[in-house]
Amino acid sequence: MGIGSIIFLIGALIFILVAAIYAVIQKDLIHAVIATSLISLALSLVFYILQAPDVALTEAAIGIALSTIIFIITIRNTKRYESE
Amino acid sequence: MDLFFIIIISIISLGALFGLIRFIKGPTTSDRVVALDTLSAMLIAVLVLLAFIFDRYIYIDVSLIYAVLGFIGIITIARYLEGGI
Amino acid sequence: MQIFDYIGYFLISVGAIFLFLGGLGVFRMPDFYTRVQAGTKASTLGAMSIILGVGVLQPEWFVKTLVIVIFLAIANPLSSHALARGTHKAHQKPIVKDEKIEDAYEIAEHKAEEKNIK
């Protein structure tokens, strides 16, 4: 693993950190769900750089399709905005 | 890693940074979903490029899964915005 | 064999520039409807170009990269079209500076609502 891969890995981890902080402090739950999908996208890249393509494949399939659908159906049946 | 690929991935990462800024700033929900769509297309390209750099044939399968399944979540959010999921 | 290397590197460079322009368009455009066209068209072309460039550089991988390009060409415009349709049905208006165009847009929306009621 060269120095370029390490710099790229640190960039992906900072990306995850920004999206996670945004998902925690956001009051609108739909925006938080989109931020969760973004976390899954960058986490798949991290697993990929760490030479684990099977974990990255599972993370991609579950994170971007399945968990988004389940969260959206749950929000449809409850409230969209977090109460104060 | 070759110098050429470092420059290419740096250019794509700069584009991804603009997408992240639009995701944080964007006034409505639809702007954030557009940023997610753009970042997803960028990730598919970067995964294929990294498979070429690492020289492993199996690594392309992750990108194939992203290309097949990536649009389902965005269509779900769009149907929720439309009001008829 | 040398000419295929040049073609592959050229395709990868063009794809990287188009992906960067897609991100810049998402950042700088003033309105949702312009953002969706800048973001999805440019990024689709960039991703397809990079994947085809890798397929040209490694001729054993060409079939699988072609499959990825075909799936990308089906799925990415589909999702952007569904998103634009959903946003339009949620009554989000575009930014227009000309008053005539704004009036025409409101008249068209009114007609569509009347047709829906009937």
Chain A residues near any Cβ of chain B (below 8 Å): 2, 4-5, 8, 11, 15, 18-19, 22, 28, 30-31, 33-35, 37-38, 41, 44-45, 48-49, 51, 53, 56-57, 60-61, 64-65, 68-69, 72-73, 75-76
Mean pLDDT of A45-53: 90
Q: How far apart are CA C26 and CA B84, in angstroms?
A: 27
Within-domain flag for A12: yes
Residue B34: list chain C partners with CB under 8 A.
Answer: 26, 32, 35-36, 39-40, 80, 83
State whether the Cα torsion A71-C42-C35-A48 is positive or negative.
Answer: positive
Within-domain flag for A82: no
Within-domain flag for A49: yes
**What is the predicted pLDDT for the residue at C118?**
59
The ipTM value here is: 0.90
Decide which of C51 and A1 is more confident.
C51
Range of the domain at A59: 3-77
**What is the predicted pLDDT for the residue at C116?**
73
Nearest one of C28, C33, C25 to C94, comparing CA atoms: C33
> pLDDT by residue (tens digit) across B52-71?
988 888 888 888 888 888 88
Per DSSP, the three-state class of A81 is: strand
Per DSSP, the three-state class of C62 is: helix
With CB atoms and an 8 Å threshold, state whether B43 touches A45.
yes
Non-local (6+) Cβ contacts of B82 within 8 A are: C85, C86, C89, C90
Tokens of A9: 């890995």
**What is the predicted pLDDT for the residue at B27?**
85
Distance from CA of C104 to the nearest CA of B (A): 23
Nearest one of B52, A28, B76 to C79, comparing CA atoms: B76
Q: How far apart are CA B16 and CA A42, in angstroms?
A: 11
**What is the predicted pLDDT for the residue at C32?**
87
**What is the predicted pLDDT for the residue at C11?**
92
Tokens of B47: 């995964």
- pTM (2 decimals)? 0.90
Distance from CA of B12 to the nearest CA of C (A): 6
Q: How far apart are CA C52 and CA B37, in angstroms?
A: 20
Q: Please classify residue C73 by burial: count the beta carbons closer than 10 Å to its beta carbon, then call 0-12 exposed, 13-18 middle and 19+ buried.
A: middle
Decide which of A1 and C91 is more confident.
C91
> pLDDT by residue (tens digit) across C22-70?
999 999 988 888 888 888 888 899 999 999 999 999 888 899 999 999 9
Domain ranges of chain B: 3-82
State the CB neighbour count (10 A cutoff) for residue A21: 12
**What is the predicted pLDDT for the residue at A1?**
65
Within-domain flag for A20: yes
Within-domain flag for A40: yes
Number of domains in chain A: 1
Mean pLDDT of A13-17: 93
Phi and psi, residue C108, nearest 5°: -65, -40
What does pLDDT average to over chain B?
88
Within-domain flag for A84: no
Nearest one of C11, C115, C86, C2 to C55, comparing CA atoms: C11
